[in-house]
């Protein structure tokens, strides 16, 4: 026999091993904990917010951060900390749902186009090209103009903009995996298309899709900001991070905290998404996994 | 012997309403290939594709595989060997000709019959690094066939049977939860063999199973294949470009050149008294391991390159490089028939010529 591989640790259920490795990856664990905290705050926003989002106190307007208003107040004397907390739910909801929707639809379309090729590929990808041909914001504006403003329509609009991106990324990855010998091997055993797609093609085509997801979550929060800024997303006086950022822009020279704190909220959230995405991609790859388990990174 | 090994591959499937008839007795033809052709279209244009020609990867191959024997298929790179293997395991559809398995044409099989065929005809791939899904454990890879053909192994006993199979092919059964990248090339090829064995096949198509391995490991894998053949009554179609490996394992040998078979016979016939010029040239290119015999070797150097399979020469495919070529060779393709040498040869001027001194071993 040739050289024996290094002995393996005792067998544990695979999901527990995955979780264990994720916990050992300090950066990913930190990102996950921060995200969890942000989500908890967003879900129980009323409990965490010191004031109502729209409680005005004109006498106290444009106050710099202080003990009574840790993030300061805006031009109408509203507490920015409260607005950031309450705005979190809208921003996160739009981010998660729009990207989730685009991920499911786009990945499915890309998978079918890449795997079956031929006219399926031609039809689906030409449709995607048509969506791609419009500038993203223009397309979203058009959708919102037709369906009317509101959170759920914003989610749909952003999802439609992102579907072609996921479809393209998935298709490109699938085209490479489809020709692998192990896919043919599985077919020669008699496996169905469904089995080939779910057990062989999708898992091996996943890494770029995971990265695309974490990047898109970031962009979706910003897209919501852009649409709100144009008056098509969240309607004032209700807060969302993007809308606050847009509103604070006017006062940036006079009172930096108006734009700074919602901006920081977006930065931290987006950074955590990306770090967690990277960690997940590594942990889900058996080759990386062995290195990590052995090296104890 | 383990339990999995005890259930012989040759046994009739337990499913009484099996879509395919039971296997014939040993020595009887199990698989017959008649006039098999596979042409890949060459297209031009982006939106409106038009066919500007065909690559004749396989162009009229006749072969018979008898039950329990090993048929070696040799030829240089690009001669269509691997396309034959893909056609045999129904990964490609033939352009013309038929593959008769137990008397039924594979191209006309559908549904249950095809599923049953895929179970009975398995394949081992050339590249042990590419043929195993990097994201599945060895246990899942070996057992995958059972989730398609659930009647072979009940769900409960699958782990045990997987480990028995791993033991049978010389892998440590404790490694069942490892991933392919944790194994060496030879071990990976054993995983591929276990995957093929799991379905208790009649025929295993070995598509260059050892050419990606170290020489020391090649012998181990070839010996394993021979042991398994004895234990399970398997029939092999053994495709390779390594003439000595083919000679070692094969009962009969077929030589391919540019999409068709040029000579066929027992290994003694083909290696001892080759009658087709191409076979003679091929054999003369093999280095001899016995220094004393080196001077006696008849060295034939061919002129030119293999012609493009998209535009093969008329008549005899080999005529452009053959030192015996005459006018008739350009006009009439020679049939693969016995021309007085005791085995079929596709040459108008076939005559036996001992190229390599026969070492009695």
Lookup result for tokens 């649409």? A227
Q: Which of A230, A224, A231, A232 has its CA nearest to residue A262?
A: A224
Residues of A within 8 A of B177 (CB-CB) are 8, 11
Residues B284 and B167 in one domain: no
- Where is A254: in which H helix or E strand? none
Assigned token pair, A149: 């403003």
Give pLDDT, residue B234.
92
Q: Which of B123, B133, B137 to mutate to test the interface with A (most CBs of A within 10 A)?
A: B133
Counting residues of chain A whose pLDDT is more than 90, the rounded percentage is 30
Q: Which of B106, B144, B166, B169 to mutate to test the interface with A (most CBs of A within 10 A)?
A: B144
Domain count within chain B = 2
Q: List Cβ neighbours of B171 (8 Å cut-off, separation of 6 or more).
A: B138, B187, B190, B191, B194
Residues of A within 8 A of B132 (CB-CB) are 182, 185
- The 8-class DSSP code of residue A73 comes to B
What is the CATH code for A25-288?
Answer: 1.10.3720.10
In a domain, B26, yes or no: no
Residues B245 and B277 in one domain: no
Least confident of A40-44, A51-55, B88-92: A51-55
Cα separation of A134 and A109, whole Å?
A: 19
In a domain, B348, yes or no: yes
Cα separation of A297 and A272, whole Å?
A: 19
Residues B58 and B196 in one domain: yes
Q: How far is A83 from chain B (nearest CA, A)?
A: 45
Residues B110 and B222 in one domain: yes
Please determine, for residue A2, whether its predicted confidence score (pLDDT) is greater than 50: no
What residues 195-234 of chain B have any CB closer than 8 A to a CB of chain A? 195, 199, 214, 217, 220
Give pLDDT, residue A14.
64
Residues B245 and B275 in one domain: no
How far lies B111's CA from each of A117, A192, B19, B200, in Å?
A: 23, 11, 9, 19
In a domain, B95, yes or no: yes
**Residue A141 pLDDT class (50, 70, 90 cuts):** confident
Task: Judge: B122–A188 Cβ closer than 8 Å, yes or no.
Answer: yes
Assigned token pair, A24: 């050992």
Assigned token pair, B11: 């046994």
Give pLDDT, residue A245.
85
In a domain, B265, yes or no: no
CATH number of the CATH domain containing B169: 3.40.50.300
Last residue of a domain, which of B197, B215, B250?
B250
Domain boundaries, chain A: 25-288
The HSE-up count of residue B167 (CA atoms within 13 Å, CB side) is 13
**Beta pairing partners, B34:** B98
Sign of CA dihedral B338, B339, B340, B345: negative
Task: Judge: B144–A8 Cβ closer than 8 Å, yes or no.
Answer: no
Cβ contact B58:B83 at 8 Å:
yes
Task: Judge: B177–A184 Cβ closer than 8 Å, yes or no.
Answer: no
- Give the pLDDT mean for A92-98: 91
- Other C-beta atoms closer than 10 Å to the C-beta of A95 total 26
Residues B64 and B179 in one domain: yes
Residues of A within 8 A of B192 (CB-CB) are 185
- Where is B67: in which H helix or E strand? none
Give pLDDT, residue A234.
81
Q: Long-range contacts of range A285-293, CB-CB < 8 Å, 24 or more positions apart?
A: A285/A207, A285/B135, A286/B134, A286/B135, A286/B179, A286/B181, A287/B134, A287/B179, A287/B181, A289/A17, A289/A21, A289/B179, A290/B179, A290/B181, A290/B182, A292/A21, A292/A24, A292/A25, A293/A9, A293/A21
ipTM of the complex: 0.80
Q: Which of B313, B316, B246 has its CA nearest to residue B278?
A: B316
In a domain, B9, yes or no: no
Residue B79 structural domain: 31-44+52-250
Give pLDDT, residue A125.
93
Q: Which of B346, B359, B343 has its CA nearest to residue B286?
A: B359
Give pLDDT, residue B132.
93
Taking phi first (over 0 means left), then psi (-120 to 50 degrees means alpha), and beta for anything else, what does residue B274 get?
beta
Q: How far is B2 from chain A (nearest CA, A)?
A: 20
Q: What is the pLDDT of residues A5-18, one digit of tens each?
A: 444 444 445 677 77
Give pLDDT, residue A217.
85
Give pLDDT, residue A123.
93
Residues B179 and B301 in one domain: no
Task: Judge: A190–B145 Cβ closer than 8 Å, yes or no.
Answer: yes
B173 touches chain A (CB under 8 A): no
What residues 70-109 of chain B have any CB closer than 8 A to a CB of chain A? 86, 89-91
Residues of B within 8 A of A8 (CB-CB) are 174-175, 177-178, 182
Residues B84 and B219 in one domain: yes
Higher pLDDT, A175 or A22: A175
Q: What would you report as the CA-atom Rg of chain A, rounded to the nearest whole angstrom?
A: 23
Residues B296 and B244 in one domain: no
B192 touches chain A (CB under 8 A): yes
Cα separation of B221 and B236, whole Å?
A: 14
Q: How far is B327 from chain A (nearest CA, A)?
A: 44
B183 touches chain A (CB under 8 A): yes
Assigned token pair, B43: 């297209």
Give pLDDT, residue B10.
42
Residues B133 and B173 in one domain: yes
Helix axes A257-283, A26-43, angle to 10 degrees: 130
Least confident of A47-56, A272-281, B144-153: A47-56
Q: How far is A199 from chain B (nearest CA, A)?
A: 8
Residues B113 and B185 in one domain: yes
Cβ contact B175:B163 at 8 Å:
no
Could you list the pLDDT tens digit for every one of the 361 residues in chain B? 344 444 444 444 433 345 678 877 777 889 999 999 999 988 887 777 788 888 888 888 999 999 999 999 998 888 888 899 999 998 888 999 999 998 889 888 878 888 899 999 999 998 888 999 998 999 999 999 898 888 888 888 888 899 999 999 999 999 998 889 889 989 999 999 999 999 999 999 999 888 888 888 899 999 999 999 999 999 999 998 888 889 889 999 999 999 889 999 998 889 888 889 999 888 888 877 777 776 777 778 888 888 888 888 888 989 888 888 888 888 888 988 888 888 899 989 888 887 776 554 4
Higher pLDDT, B122 or A232: B122
**Beta pairing partners, B237:** B71, B205
How high does pLDDT run on average in chain A? 84
Residues of B within 8 A of A15 (CB-CB) are none
Task: Judge: A185–B123 Cβ closer than 8 Å, yes or no.
Answer: yes
Give pLDDT, residue B355.
75
Residues B241 and B187 in one domain: yes
Task: Judge: A11–B177 Cβ closer than 8 Å, yes or no.
Answer: yes
């Amino acid at each position: 026999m040739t050289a024996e591989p290094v002995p393996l640790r005792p067998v544990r259920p695979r999901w527990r091993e995955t979780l264990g490795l994720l916990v050992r990856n300090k950066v990913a664990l930190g990102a996950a904990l921060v995200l969890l905290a942000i989500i908890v705050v967003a879900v129980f926003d009323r409990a965490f917010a010191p004031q109502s989002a729209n409680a005005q106190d004109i006498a106290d307007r444009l106050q710099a951060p202080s003990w009574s208003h840790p993030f300061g107040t805006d031009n109408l004397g509203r507490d920015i900390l409260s607005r950031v907390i309450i705005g979190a739910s809208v921003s996160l909801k739009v981010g998660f749902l729009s990207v989730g929707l685009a991920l499911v639809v786009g990945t499915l379309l890309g998978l079918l186009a890449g795997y079956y090729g031929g006219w399926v590929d031609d039809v689906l990808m030409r449709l995607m090209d048509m969506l791609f041909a419009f500038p993203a914001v223009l397309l979203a504006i058009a959708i919102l103009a037709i369906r009317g403003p509101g959170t759920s329509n914003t989610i749909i609009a952003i999802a439609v903009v992102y579907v072609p991106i996921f479809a393209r990324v998935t298709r490109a990855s699938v085209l490479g995996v489809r020709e692998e010998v192990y896919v043919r091997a599985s077919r020669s055993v008699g496996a169905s298309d469904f089995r080939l797609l779910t057990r062989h093609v999708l898992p091996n085509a996943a890494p770029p899709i995971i990265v695309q997801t974490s990047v898109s979550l970031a962009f979706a929060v910003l897209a919501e900001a852009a649409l709100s800024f144009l008056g098509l997303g969240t309607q004032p006086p209700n807060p969302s991070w993007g809308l606050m950022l847009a509103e604070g822009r006017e006062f940036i020279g006079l009172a930096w905290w108006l734009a700074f704190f919602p901006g920081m909220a977006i930065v931290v959230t987006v950074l955590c998404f990306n770090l967690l995405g990277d960690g997940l991609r590594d942990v889900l790859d058996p080759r990386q996994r062995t290195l990590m388990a052995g090296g104890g990174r | 012997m383990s339990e999995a090994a005890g259930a012989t591959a040759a046994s009739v499937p337990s499913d009484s309403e099996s879509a395919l008839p039971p296997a014939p007795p040993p020595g009887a033809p199990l698989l017959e290939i008649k006039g098999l052709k596979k042409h890949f279209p060459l297209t031009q244009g982006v939106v409106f594709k038009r066919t500007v020609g065909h690559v004749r990867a396989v162009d009229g191959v006749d072969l018979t595989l008898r039950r329990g024997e090993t048929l070696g298929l040799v030829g240089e790179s690009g001669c269509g060997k691997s396309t034959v293997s893909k056609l045999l395991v129904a990964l490609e559809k033939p352009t013309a000709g038929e593959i008769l398995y137990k008397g039924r044409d594979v191209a006309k099989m559908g549904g249950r019959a095809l599923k049953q065929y895929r179970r009975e005809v398995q394949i081992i791939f050339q590249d042990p690094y590419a043929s195993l899904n990097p994201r599945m454990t060895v246990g899942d890879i070996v057992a995958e066939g059972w989730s398609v053909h659930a009647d072979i192994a009940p769900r409960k006993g699958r782990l045990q049977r997987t480990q028995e199979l791993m033991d049978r092919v010389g892998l440590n059964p404790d490694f069942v939860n490892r991933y392919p990248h944790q194994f060496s090339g030879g071990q990976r090829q054993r995983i591929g063999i276990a995957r093929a064995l799991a379905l208790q096949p009649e025929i295993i198509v070995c598509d260059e199973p050892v050419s990606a391995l170290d020489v020391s490991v090649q012998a181990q894998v070839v010996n394993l294949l021979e042991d398994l053949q004895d234990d399970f009554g398997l029939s092999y179609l053994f495709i390779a470009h390594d003439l000595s490996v083919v000679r070692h394992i094969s009962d009969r040998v077929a030589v391919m050149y540019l999409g068709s078979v040029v000579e066929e016979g027992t290994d003694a016939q083909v290696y001892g008294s080759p009658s087709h010029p191409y076979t003679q040239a091929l054999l003369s290119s093999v280095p001899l391991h016995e220094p004393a015999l080196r001077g006696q070797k008849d060295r034939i150097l061919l002129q030119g390159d293999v012609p493009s399979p998209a535009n093969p020469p008329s008549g005899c495919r080999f005529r452009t490089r053959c030192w015996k070529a005459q006018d008739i060779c350009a006009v009439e393709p020679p049939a693969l028939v016995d021309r007085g040498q005791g085995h079929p040869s596709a040459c108008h001027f076939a005559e036996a010529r001992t190229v390599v001194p026969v070492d009695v071993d």
